[in-house]
């Protein structure tokens, strides 16, 4: 009985992702531009702008994953394939991301509490907060006090071994989670799993390929930096290329099954 586990080939994932992007480059870039502009414009709407922007970003995420998956299947996605509304898919993506954030909140508060304590932040910030309550926000002395507090905090952190160790541990922990949850969006939209099962699925599968997935993420950062250096147009091309590369890597590690009918059924679970 074979007990071999899927193995990630970073080079193959990059090649497959680039090939997929090239099936419909203008549709990928155009949709990213459209969703990005709409999300920014929504922020100007009073009271509900943030909520509308969140929905648009989720719509953009679902559209990008759908388009990448179609392209990886060998189909050139049309612009309509990207823009198609699927409220259930939006909800699946949102609640998986939200639950992950909730799981991480206690860790973030722990790291922040230890860091603030080690840097004696409360004694540094208390005078600043008292001043903020007694002067006009435009008062120059408030800005000066804020700058002084920041410098003092930075010095306290740099001189505290515990504070430095906390920052390093927090960074390592964040990197570990980022690598394990690289495929969260694809798992959420393509596998029929609840929020916690989606999170643990990423950890379980990636654990044996952690360094390979880290290398994949580093190369994606390099691609985005190259896109940034190639001006804004290059950046808008680099982002969907990275989505396609992530999708190609997902197919190597998790399989090619669309268990909830993301492509075929807009009302899929």
Mean pLDDT calculated for residue range 165-169: 95
**What's the pLDDT band for 268 if we cut at 50, 70, 90?**
very low
Give the tens place of pLDDT for each residue, 28-42: 999 999 999 999 999
pLDDT of 202 > 90? The answer is yes
**SS3 of the chain:** CCCCCCCCCHHHHHHHHHHHHCCCHHHHHHHHHHHHHHHHHHCCCCCCHHHHHHHHHHHHHHHHHHHHHHHHCCCCCCHHHHHCCCHHHHHHHHHHHHHHHHHHHHHHHHHHHHHHHHCCHHHHHHHHHHHHHHCCCCCHHHHHHHHHHHHHHHHHHHCCHHHHHHHHHHHHHHHHHHHHCCCHHHHHHHCCCCHHHHHHHHHHHHHCCHHHHHHHHHHHHHHHHHHHHCHHHHHHHHHHHHHHHHHHHHHHHHCCCCCCCCCCCCCCC
Q: pLDDT class for 99, splitting at 50, 70, 90?
A: very high
The model's pTM is: 0.87
Does position 265 have pLDDT exceeding 70, yes or no?
Answer: no
Tell me, what's the pLDDT at 266? Answer: 53
* pLDDT band at residue 228 under the 50/70/90 scheme: confident
* Range 202-219 average pLDDT: 93
267 pLDDT above the threshold of 50: no
């Amino acid at each position: 009985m074979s007990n071999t586990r899927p193995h990630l080939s970073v080079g193959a994932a990059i090649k497959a992702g680039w090939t997929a992007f090239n099936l419909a480059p203008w549709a990928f870039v155009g949709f990213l531009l459209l969703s990005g502009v709409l999300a920014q414009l929504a922020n100007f709407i009073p009271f509900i702008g943030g909520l509308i922007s969140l929905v648009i970003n989720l719509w953009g995420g679902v559209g990008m994953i759908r388009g990448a998956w179609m392209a990886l299947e060998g189909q050139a996605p049309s612009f309509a394939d990207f823009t198609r509304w699927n409220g259930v898919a939006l909800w699946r993506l949102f609640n998986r991301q939200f639950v992950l954030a909730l799981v991480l909140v206690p860790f973030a508060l722990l790291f922040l509490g230890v860091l603030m304590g080690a840097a004696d932040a409360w004694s540094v910030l208390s005078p600043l907060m008292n001043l903020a309550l007694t002067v006009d926000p435009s008062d120059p002395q408030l800005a000066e006090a804020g700058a002084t507090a920041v410098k003092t905090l930075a010095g306290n952190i740099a001189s505290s071994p515990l504070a430095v160790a906390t920052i390093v541990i927090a960074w390592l922990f964040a990197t570990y989670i980022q690598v394990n949850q690289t495929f969260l969006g694809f798992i959420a939209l393509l596998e029929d799993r609840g929020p916690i099962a989606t999170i643990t699925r990423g950890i379980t599968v990636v654990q044996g390929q952690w360094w390979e997935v880290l290398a994949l993420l580093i190369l994606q950062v390099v691609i985005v930096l190259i896109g940034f250096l190639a001006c804004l147009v290059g950046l808008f091309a680099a982002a969907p290329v990275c989505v396609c590369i992530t999708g190609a890597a997902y197919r190597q590690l998790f399989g090619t099954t669309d268990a909830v009918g993301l492509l075929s059924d807009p009302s899929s679970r």
